[in-house]
Amino acid sequence: QLQLQESGPGLVKPSETLSLTCTVSGGTIRSSTYYWGWVRQPPGKGLEWIGSVYYGGHSSYNPSLKSRVTLSEDTSKNQFSLKLSSVTAADTAVYYCARHSGPFSSSWFDPWGQGTLVTVSS
């Protein structure tokens, strides 16, 4: 059974870079079928897609975050990562990693990780 687990610092200072890693177990990220995505949920708000990375390095991003987001994969560790630069308090959220297939318009996120809370504060 495929499982995803987020990890990274729970506290990031304003203007710095948020870095999270998602470790995949029970399957490989070296797949030509699946994308590996990030979704966040700020406190009291809805979910927001951040972006997704595909084996081989191809990435797609939410236009609203694209200028600050970098996605990458490490197939040797079966992990994929998120970097979000120049963070502000508005980036405080629970961050989830999840798998989906393509094409995007007809795929869905499943499974998801349990999420990790990242707080942006000095």
Partner 1 sequence: QSVLTQPPSASGTPGQRVTISCSGSSSNVGINYVYWYQHLPGTAPKLLIYRNDQRPSGVPDRFSGSKSGTSASLAISGLRSEDAADYHCAAWDDSLSGFWVFGGGTKLTVL
Q: Which residues bind partner 1 (CB under 8 A)?
A: 4, 39, 45-49, 60-64, 96, 98, 104-106, 108-115
Looking at beta carbons only, is 60 or 85 nearer to partner 1? 60
Least separation in angstroms between CB 4 and partner 1: 8
Least separation in angstroms between CB 122 and partner 1: 26
Question: Alpha carbon of 52 to those of 6, 48, 57, 61, 69: distances in Å?
Answer: 15, 12, 10, 6, 10
Give the separation between CA 55 and CA 36, rounded to whole angstroms. 9
Looking at beta carbons only, is 47 or 89 nearer to partner 1? 47
- Judged on CB neighbours under 10 Å (0-12, 13-18, 19+), 102 is middle
Least separation in angstroms between CB 30 and partner 1: 23
